[in-house]
Structure 1
């Protein structure tokens, strides 16, 4: 392994709940520059380490299923960083993708501090409009300018919207939500004895062949996890409410490799279908807020009763403890809250928020969650235990803070610095970032092209 990545890879390996004894005899090779993405934090190390642990964990599961020796794994830092910028690098050919951001989403200077408004969902935009009485960027800025930032943040959140004041690290750690999550790890894994069955005995060429994954995730972090699983053969079925409108610009990336169905979990008929799917699943991955499934009647006890062998993986923004555990949040907001955007501004000598060059908290959390799922599948096969996995963006931010920052800043990487591949989508042809990381003798690919939500039946594709 490239020695320059050894320390960060070890830290990320421990972040998924594994220890040194769990590191396989895999021949791991890391290639590429030690610094690719410019930031005040080691984003390149985080990206490379996250891809390493997920790919190694997938290789471990394949070896356990085949009862064979380990295969060599190769991970390139430039390819890993490209994957962390995948939604930005995605390039339609002959058609137009909607903008990544709503027109009024972004950073604003309030009376006493900077605040970020996240309005990519219609309901979140409506909350900002109700609170401010403004409908475009100019009028929003005028309204925000005369208001205290924290009061505005509270008002928008209480109205059902999403906002975050820019805090420095000290301010965040002195706050109630900051103190509650100061030591939060990226992931926690709690195991229990499993009486359930695993995927079919027939093992294909791909690590997750026959593994059924029920996907209740949105935006970036959760879909990154399930896209990785799908790329190595899992049958991934994404479920959304009928008529749900995801951020449209993300769908060409986040639906790749998956079938998508619509179910109303407040309707008895659809609940019955959902529960049948749960009973046949190996993994449930949820990006809903911590109390969402419980309010629908699907707390952990109910899920386990329906499927004793089910691996349950969940992620949220602000962690699983403290006053913000149920707060709506996104990568860009967590960066503002926990000090990352402020640290970037300080490093570059700027006054305004300077976030990471990619949505690194989202992407890293997704890759780490995928690694933990793969490891849980291996443990279920080899030790008859299954797992409850919880991840958070704030925990991943803590991991990023623990990594040694770079000593200099690089010029911003341009799209042509990364290799893209031709792909097909339901909207038309495009070029996208390939899956980073390679397992010797395994050709990762996605069996489903990206497309709209709700376009498939709510049933498993695998027998």
Structure 2
């Protein structure tokens, strides 16, 4: 594998990073003066500017909320984001406490990195039972890390990656940045921004209702359908809920979920279940669509489209919808249909190799947070609010796209942090001043508060996390 170099070029400042995201979302540059940023990298042990990534993505979403509030109330408010707080929220699942205890471990014992017979590494993601069982079936081995390690000695890394991908499983071969840049998917994404917004249908302008002089939050009355799982998509819905949106999380009884992440990202949301293979549930979805403003989805590429709920179909059913799509590797290129998660994209696109090189490690090294997931979550929320802004000003239905790989490309563009790997790794006690105590359907929670500080409409979660399927598939009356 080629030996990488670490660029020492000037890194973008956090305000520069926010400005780039803001302009990519097509929002007015004058609003940027309302955002105050404090703190500096490194705040986590990494050679990458993960603090800047956290502060910029979260800050851009908080500023978008303030912009919508200004449009609805006629007044601006100040927005502030501290980097230390933003990074804590980027690791919210690590700091979650349920009933005074850490959330249970959710990673399967065979998930992780393995060296193959050709000497190269692969990462196996087995946290969903069907992904775990599929990998074990290909390998013909027991559910045991040592058995997986032994079985992979018969495989070349990229051959195993390809075989698993063709079976709909989630495996990634380790690559360097140079190798990713030469890969067809890396080339397909080259130069693309971390989020894109495209008009996909016609509708008259639909401004959000005016807000009363005091008390109402920026997204009061906005209805969001949340078809997401794991971290990135659910963080987007949690963010919109923190600014007052009515977020209805939609799951299905036959789909696997990860309980600690449901608890952490369910704050502020109601939760219903619909099986879109069932005609009655599909009719219930269409009824919900007629009242929705935003739909966020993070299922496998084309998964919802195959069930009649892709962006074009939804835009026809509900002109003026803001449809927000998360993918692993982007919507163009040979991997546009490939499944993936944060840890896999880190591995495939060069981050684990580059971080290991910076640490002088012989083994691949993960980033100290699910940076791609969390940044993508805030960019999905930013895109949703940018779509509402466009809808109010121009009309139309809008499709927002964010991918983990494009977010990774953006993170690379933020540069490297000299000596960053020597930064301390904050433990639970180090962030206790940033936590709030909340009720939930699972017991009392201690969780990281929202780092986007709005001077007039502080962000908070009005509803507790609840078990999936707690609520009926219906909207609350608009405030």
TM-score normalized with structure 1 length: 0.95
Q: Which of the numbers 21, 25, 40 marks the counterpart of 1:12?
A: 21
User: Within 5 A, what are the aligned runs for 1:178-327?
Assistant: 178-191=186-199, 193-195=202-204, 197=206, 199-201=208-210, 205-327=216-338
Cα displacement (A) at 1:12 = 3.0
Residue matched to 2:169 = 161
Contact 1:206–1:442, Cα closer than 8 Å, also in 2: yes
Cα displacement (A) at 1:435 = 0.5
Q: Distance in 2 between matches of 1:97 and 1:322?
A: 38
Residue matched to 1:429 = 444
Cα displacement (A) at 1:39 = 1.1
Residue matched to 2:46 = 39
Contact 1:199–1:282, Cα closer than 8 Å, also in 2: no
- 3-state DSSP of counterpart to 2:304: helix
Contact 1:214–1:236, Cα closer than 8 Å, also in 2: yes
User: Within 5 A, what are the aligned runs for 1:300-449?
Assistant: 300-409=311-420, 410-418=423-431, 419-449=434-464
Residue matched to 1:93 = 99
Contact 2:216–2:457, Cα closer than 8 Å, also in 1: yes
- 3-state DSSP of counterpart to 1:23: helix
Q: Distance in 2 between matches of 1:231 and 1:94?
A: 23
Cα displacement (A) at 1:450 = 1.0
Structure 1: runs of 5 or more not aligned: none
Q: Which of the numbers 60, 66, 71 marks the counterpart of 1:64?
A: 71
Q: Distance in 1 between matches of 2:350 and 2:41?
A: 24
Q: Which of the numbers 53, 61, 66 marks the counterpart of 2:60?
A: 53
Contact 2:23–2:29, Cα closer than 8 Å, also in 1: no
Q: Distance in 1 between matches of 2:102 and 2:452?
A: 29
Q: Distance in 1 between matches of 2:124 and 2:32?
A: 47
Contact 2:90–2:374, Cα closer than 8 Å, also in 1: yes
Q: Distance in 2 between matches of 1:23 and 1:201?
A: 22
Do residues 459 (structure 1) and 470 (structure 2) align? no
Q: Distance in 2 between matches of 1:141 and 1:335?
A: 21
Report the RMSD for the aligned CA atoms in angstroms: 1.8
Residue matched to 2:6 = none
26-35 or 342-351, which moves further after superposition? 26-35
34 and 97 in structure 1: CA distance in 2 versus 1, 3 angstrom threshold: closer
30 and 140 in structure 1: CA distance in 2 versus 1, 3 angstrom threshold: same
Q: Distance in 2 between matches of 1:147 and 1:25?
A: 51
Q: Distance in 2 between matches of 1:39 and 1:17?
A: 31
Cα displacement (A) at 1:296 = 1.0
Q: Distance in 2 between matches of 1:25 and 1:106?
A: 41
Cα displacement (A) at 1:200 = 4.5
394 and 25 in structure 1: CA distance in 2 versus 1, 3 angstrom threshold: closer
339 and 269 in structure 1: CA distance in 2 versus 1, 3 angstrom threshold: same
Structure 2: runs of 5 or more not aligned: 1-11
Cα displacement (A) at 1:352 = 1.2
Cα displacement (A) at 1:15 = 3.8
6 and 199 in structure 1: CA distance in 2 versus 1, 3 angstrom threshold: closer
Q: Distance in 2 between matches of 1:198 and 1:127?
A: 48
Q: What whole-Å deviation, never above 9, does each CA across 1:306-364 have from its counterpart, x for those lacking one? A: 11111111110000011111111000000000101110010001121112100000100
Residue matched to 1:128 = 135
TM-score normalized with structure 2 length: 0.91
Cα displacement (A) at 1:462 = 2.6
Residue matched to 1:76 = 82
Residue matched to 1:28 = 35
Cα displacement (A) at 1:398 = 0.8
Contact 1:57–1:374, Cα closer than 8 Å, also in 2: yes
Cα displacement (A) at 1:122 = 0.9
Contact 1:17–1:372, Cα closer than 8 Å, also in 2: no
182-191 or 259-268, which moves further after superposition? 182-191
Do residues 177 (structure 1) and 192 (structure 2) align? no
